[in-house]
Structure 1
Amino acid sequence: MDEAAVRATILIPNWNGEAFIVPCVSSALQAAREHRRITGEEIEVLVVDDASTDRSVERLRRDCPAARLLQRECNGGFAEAVNEGAQAARGELLVLLNSDMAVQPGWLAPLLAPLTEANVFAVTAKTVDWAAGAPNHLNMTARFERGQFVLEYSSPPQACRTLFFQGGCTALRREVFLAAGGFPSLYHPGYWEDYDLSLRAIKAGWRIIYEPRAVAHHLGKASLSARYGDASIRLLSERNRLLFTWTNLSGAGPRMRHWLGLPGGIARDIARGGGAVRLRAFLAAARR
């Protein structure tokens, strides 16, 4: 494939995603063929395997030979896999797609279209659970309450500006992504690194768009959820919420509200029988 002719690279990071990787990559390849047939633009599908120990690579080579495969020798986590894939990608645009997603027909065109506007950095999709059909990720914003960022979700019927893109299903400008250093390693092994990059891009003057016509199905728990379990994922998410806050919160007033609100939040969590998750998250974040 001629690198200069590639409009976008669909970048799929994978770690032990044997259960979902073939449906995911097959749907991405179909989306690439559909887009090429309609527009004439070439779309690359690149899978970055993060040192899987299951049969992911074997199944990819057998069932999805049209996909380009990049194998990492050591497992480094989501951010490292995406960042390495972004460096290797041939497209001027990146389309990030988690390995437990399968995209619907017509998914790609509305994701790419707003990126023709000069000040749009990213376009994020709508994702729904495969089994239940319930929304999984929608339009994401946040409010600052009791000294912390609280995520908010809405489901507008039309495209709109948004605060955050989700790293599991988003198109963005590769050059800007690389210039920003990609996803930060601070949040390893995952969660909130996409929100961090979103906010930094907006502060730099870029726009992020939520596009509900671009729909992907979430097939099941893969990678982090399967590896760590729900309890550890909650702890990880709370830790990274704190790291995000400490990294991005500006102004003496908001900072003071955050630090004054922390003890109360920890106390409420303990009183509700939450297993002291917020206290443990604070200690883990402080060690970072």
Structure 2
Amino acid sequence: MHILPSVAVVILNWNGKAFLEKFLPSVCRSTYGNLQLVLADNASTDDSVAFVAANYPSVRIIRNPSNDGFAGGYNEALAHVEADIYVLLNQDVEVEPGWIEPVVALMESDPRIAACQPKMRAYHQPDEFEYAGAAGGWMDVLGYTFCRGRILYTTEKDEGQYDDVQDVFWATGAALFIRSACFHQVGGFDRDFFAHMEEVDLCWRLQRAGYRVCYCPGSKVFHVGGGSLPQGNPRKLYLNFRNNLMMLWKNLHSEDRWIVLFQRFFLDILAAVKSLVSGKPKDMAAIWRAYRDYYRWRKTYVNKHELPEVKLMKMKGVFHGIMIWRYYFLRRKKFKDLI
């Protein structure tokens, strides 16, 4: 008899009672046969933990002592969870009853598949892909991230155009399936990131270790998005710029690191100037702070992950061009036109 891999769906919560009231019932209706549900609480100050304890006694609760963001919060909680596969699920995601089975089946088909994501659609526009993952994450040669079905702020309608299983560069952290052994082998999330880009960094390290990252269209979830920091928030912009630079420094092949970061520096200056002339001085200040703190971090950075150096061009889910050039100047705003 086939034994199902054990799966732990772990929801990281911070003051998310409203989301838990709305979306936890759908997670509890999951039909997978070897499943545990875990709420990892990041020192919430609302009554979300009491709500779950009172209404969902089957959900295990792990209380983190402080709010160390997405990266630190999951690292802390997952040290206390035993399962073959972790499913890291945002608190603002609605799922369908059979959403776990197709992804697990895909992962079982090849032990080299370390991480996987379902199709991510928008909760408020359910026929469209959602920003935070769409149909799988890609990255260009300068470290700009985008998705099949979403480039920058342009999302596509789901018309079945991405209904094929595909290797991708990164899988969304909003609904991330990952083998627990692989998660711990490459060191988990980087706590220095706090939030944003940590899943891209993790998937990059997984590929460097020889694993695959995949997209599974047979599973579909619906994500609200922007639950912690909405788009356009200067804090979000700061974290995205800072963490992207840190990720590039950590993971790029030593032969490519300086030329890529040199090009990014000038493009990021243009982005800061554009913010200023567009009447968004707080955005320009956020980019400046990101560079300041990136340089401070780099002075003290110690490589904790002894992973092989791999040329970016040899990895899956990498666009061998500059995404923002084709998006802004060539007006190619759909994935099929970009690639």
TM-score, normalised to structure 2, is 0.74
Q: 1:135 aligns to what SS in structure 2?
A: coil
Find 1:263's aligned residue among 262, 266, 272.
266
Deviation at 1:92, TM superposition (A): 1.3
Find 1:225's aligned residue among 225, 229, 245.
229
Confirm or deny that 1:142 pairs with 2:125. Answer: no
Aligned counterparts of 2:147 and 2:267: Cα–Cα separation in 1: 25
Q: 2:12 aligns to what SS in structure 1?
A: strand
Deviation at 1:69, TM superposition (A): 0.8
In structure 2, the CA distance between the partners of 1:7 and 1:282, relative to structure 1 (3 Å rule), is same
In structure 2, the CA distance between the partners of 1:63 and 1:203, relative to structure 1 (3 Å rule), is same
Deviation at 1:260, TM superposition (A): 4.5
Do 1:93 and 1:173's aligned partners in 2 also have CA atoms closer than 8 Å?
yes
Confirm or deny that 1:248 pairs with 2:251. Answer: yes
Confirm or deny that 1:48 pairs with 2:40. Answer: yes
Aligned counterparts of 1:218 and 1:261: Cα–Cα separation in 2: 31
Q: 1:46 aligns to what SS in structure 2?
A: strand
Aligned counterparts of 1:216 and 1:268: Cα–Cα separation in 2: 33
Aligned counterparts of 2:58 and 2:256: Cα–Cα separation in 1: 54
Deviations 1:108-134 (A, max 9, x none): 111111221221101112222211223
Q: Could you list the runs of 5+ residues in structure 1 that have no partner in the other structure?
A: 37-41
Q: 1:35 aligns to what SS in structure 2?
A: coil
In structure 2, the CA distance between the partners of 1:106 and 1:157, relative to structure 1 (3 Å rule), is same
Aligned counterparts of 1:44 and 1:186: Cα–Cα separation in 2: 29
Q: How many residues align?
A: 272
Deviations 1:130-172 (A, max 9, x none): 112231122211112xxx3111321421111111011110211
Do 1:46 and 1:85's aligned partners in 2 also have CA atoms closer than 8 Å?
no
**Could you tell me the percent identity over the aligned residues?**
24
Q: CA RMSD for the aligned pairs? A: 2.2
Equivalence for 1:11: 10
Do 1:20 and 1:219's aligned partners in 2 also have CA atoms closer than 8 Å?
no
Confirm or deny that 1:73 pairs with 2:65. Answer: yes
Equivalence for 1:283: 292
Higher helix fraction (1 or 2): 1
Structure 1 counterpart of 2:8, which letter?
A: T
Aligned counterparts of 1:108 and 1:225: Cα–Cα separation in 2: 27
TM-score, normalised to structure 1, is 0.87
Confirm or deny that 1:170 pairs with 2:173. Answer: no
Confirm or deny that 1:215 pairs with 2:220. Answer: yes
Q: 1:216 aligns to what SS in structure 2?
A: strand
Q: Could you list the runs of 5+ residues in structure 2 that have no partner in the other structure?
A: 150-161, 298-339
Aligned counterparts of 2:239 and 2:102: Cα–Cα separation in 1: 33
Do 2:64 and 2:77's aligned partners in 1 also have CA atoms closer than 8 Å?
no
Do 1:44 and 1:90's aligned partners in 2 also have CA atoms closer than 8 Å?
no
Deviations 1:230-267 (A, max 9, x none): 22111211111111111112243452242254135314
Confirm or deny that 1:90 pairs with 2:86. Answer: no
Do 1:25 and 1:67's aligned partners in 2 also have CA atoms closer than 8 Å?
no
Find 1:132's aligned residue among 125, 128, 140.
125
Deviation at 1:46, TM superposition (A): 0.7
Confirm or deny that 1:239 pairs with 2:242. Answer: yes
Q: 2:240 aligns to what SS in structure 1?
A: helix
